[in-house]
Amino acid sequence: MSKYVINVPVATIWTSYDSARKLDEKATSNPTDIRSWLDSLNFDTRLELCDANLIQSQLLYGQEVLILEEKENYYHIIALTQGSSKDERGYPGWVPKCQIAKVAEWKLAEGPVAVVTSNLALLFSTTGEKELLELSFQTILPVVEKREGTVKVTLPDGTFGVLRDSDTSVYDALSAIPKGAGADIVRTGERFIDLPYLWGGMSGYGMDCSGFSYTMCKANGYIIPRDAHDQAKEGVEVPLDALEPGDLLFFAYEEGKGKLHHVGIYYGDGKLLHSPKTGRDIEILPMENTIYEKELCAARRYWQKDGE
């Protein structure tokens, strides 16, 4: 049975088939150039991604999508691995047709997988002589064989590539990815300090607040909902006087009584690890005497302690 798979390193999920601007061409093409696209955006054009509701989320190379319909050069899709209250099947939106490959088979759930563990990692040709793509943290591809120093993987176009062993972890199956503790979620998040905030971002090029919490949990074996308001409804409720590192913290307007608008990771010692907003970078900050202390409204735990 044919499947539809993302065949660019990062595919942006747009709100509509006509959301992308002329200046977004490097993000809607194939090949993409996400780094150049982001470098070309100034504060205002980055902020517009949020304020004009242009972007919903992002997908990584090799992730499977469900196709709902097509319009002009876009597919209306469901991101199957991103839970959402918008659609019980996953996260909906629009992706350029050129960034999705129709494949006869895609054995991601049936055998060993390679997970990219570096923030960004190069994918090489099978001879190792040519750089093919730069892949993001948490890209997952089917393993063909593991060699000394390298991992040979299957690509969405049916060909093969090679990743450095130092950039990946190999597991017997998706279900074999180990579940980390709260401290592991924090440790993973620390690696992305100073990464710029990107509305809708879900990759090593930039993340938004809930994309950051989603990705850090995913890296530690927990698949959680995509958006902050959905993340706040699941997991285990944690009293605000019993927080532990790795818990997700939620913030709402009107000093915690209004609409929920932000999520971060509890770092410990009263500190917040989060991706704040456009124009800022992922950071750790003390919450005492800040707006975050006033707006903190809830906490959820998705990680498990030993023996649970």
pLDDT of 84-135, one tens digit each? 999 999 999 999 999 999 998 898 888 899 999 999 999 999 988 899 999 9
Residue range 6-14: average pLDDT? Answer: 98
Joined tokens for residue 126 = 């099978």
Residue range 223-249: average pLDDT? Answer: 97
Given a contact cutoff of 8 angstroms between Cβ atoms, the answer to whether 133 and 61 are in contact is yes
Give the domain-ending residue among 76, 103, 130. 103
Per-residue model confidence as pLDDT tens digits over 20-78:
999 999 999 999 999 999 999 999 999 999 999 999 999 999 999 999 999 999 999 99
What's the pLDDT score for residue 74?
Answer: 98
d(CA 258, CA 254): 5
User: What DSSP element (H or E) covers 49?
Assistant: helix 43-51
Q: Are residues 163 and 268 in the same domain?
A: no
DSSP 3-state of 256: coil
Q: Report the domain count for the chain.
A: 3
Residue range 252-257: average pLDDT? Answer: 95
Per-residue model confidence as pLDDT tens digits over 146-193:
988 999 999 999 999 999 999 999 999 999 999 999 999 999 999 999
Is 108 contained in some domain? Answer: no
Amino acid at 194: D
User: What DSSP element (H or E) covers 40?
Assistant: helix 34-40
Is 308 contained in some domain? Answer: no
The boundaries of the domain holding residue 128 are 113-176
Q: Are residues 214 and 284 in the same domain?
A: yes
How many other C-beta atoms lie within 10 A of the C-beta of residue 51?
Answer: 11
Q: Which residues are catalytic?
A: 209, 262, 274
Closest CA to 205 of 48, 86, 32: 32
Closest CA to 164 of 212, 98, 116, 204: 116
CATH of the domain at 164: 2.30.30.40
Q: Are residues 93 and 123 in the same domain?
A: no
Name which of 21-30, 99-108, 239-248, 284-293 the model is least confident about. Answer: 99-108
Is 307 contained in some domain? Answer: no
pTM over 0.85: yes
